[in-house]
Amino acid sequence: METMLSALLEFQLSQLIMIIVGIVLIWLAISKKYEPALLLPIGFGTILANIPQSAAIGEHGPLTVLFKAGIDTELFPLLIFIAIGAMIDFTPLLKNPFMLLFGAAAQLGIFVTILMAAAWGFDIKEAASIGIIGAADGPTSIYVANRFAPNLLGPISVAAYSYMALVPIIQPPVIRALTTQKERKIRMDYHSGDVTKTVKILFPIAITIVAGIFVPASLALIGFLMFGNLLRECGVLDSLSKSAQNELGNIVTILLGITIASKMQGEYFLRPQTLFILVLGLVAFIFDTAGGVMFAKFLNLVRKEKVNPMIGACGISAFPMSARVIHQMGQKEDPFNFLLMPAVSVNVGGQISSVIAGGIILSLLA
């Protein structure tokens, strides 16, 4: 009885607000289906972390133990990359490698946001951690933030996954503002040739070697991603590939989400910095979208075979949401315009580009 009374007396307004935030995240996950696999564990973990005298946090609390074992060691984000790699089919990109360029162009938001965050008063490592939200890749954001700005891990994680879920709302108005109706109606041919099994096997190996040589700091990120893809494509480890896609991905996603919530305590989260991070995260997504679209428009000045500028927006790593958004926008402009496969090609290229961009940030600031 005394323990319950003392816990009630210790309740602070910041803790109550964060419990409400946790409930809102759970509501968004269930009712709106916004990244439910991450936002629901983060929301529930936020409740656990903000109840006074909570046994879930503290030196020996399970959330703290999991954080030290899985986030401090960077293990959880890397295991997630194995699962993501096993889920992704790079065939559309291999049929048209040219699409990889759009993934590079769509990382513009990362570097614009870093400059804005630095101008806003964040130190350069914190600014880099905020900017990587623009990768539209939750595990990469967590990996970089934990390395350079663990004090900002909570708001960065929430911003990264929230904006990924809001891609269907964020991207269309930006695309429409930068393109004409004529441009949005451009039809694209899909390269339908087969990709041999040998090429599919060699691709993750080659990407790992090349990325490792030129951007060594990206090797853990890109290596685990490509290892997962090799499990998928090798043809002799189907059970491991399926386990990576399902059991491994599901278990680590749950642990990652609820563990991040240990950094969602009111005293750390309810600061002006959090609002700035949310604003800058939105800026990153907008500039990512704009960068891809403007790059496509630039290419159309010199290419005989025009590309639909909308597919440039798929260069972010929000796979496959962004590709679906672009395909649907194309269908609204012209019901016979099928942009799904070119959009998917760019989208999977964006997955690779975002990881390499994270590695470049790590290299520059290590």
Per-residue pLDDT of the chain (366 residues; tens, 9 = 90+): 555 566 666 678 888 999 999 999 999 999 988 888 888 999 999 999 999 888 888 888 899 999 999 988 889 999 999 999 999 888 888 888 888 888 888 888 899 999 999 998 899 999 999 998 887 788 888 899 999 998 888 889 888 888 887 888 899 999 999 999 999 999 887 666 678 999 999 999 999 999 889 888 889 999 999 999 999 999 999 999 999 999 999 999 999 989 988 888 888 888 888 889 999 999 999 999 999 999 999 999 888 888 899 999 988 877 778 888 899 999 998 888 888 888 888 888 888 888 888 888 888 887
Output the CA–CA distances (angstroms, integers) from residue 89 to 171, 174, 233, 315, 344, in the order listed. Answer: 24, 28, 9, 16, 10
Provide the whole-model pTM. 0.86
Q: Which amino acid is at 176?
A: R
User: Which DSSP letter does residue 244 get?
Assistant: I
DSSP letter for each residue of 50-94: HSTT-TTSSTT-HHHHHIIIIITT-HHHHHHHHHHHHH---HHHH
Residue 179, Ramachandran bin (φ over 0: left; ψ between -120 and 50: alpha; else beta) = beta
Q: Which helix (H) or strand (E) holds 299?
A: helix 272-302
**Could you check whether the bond before residue 168 is cis, i.e. omega within 30 degrees of 0?**
no
Report how far residue 94's alpha carbon sits from residue 23's, in angstroms, rounded to the nearest whole number.
Answer: 43
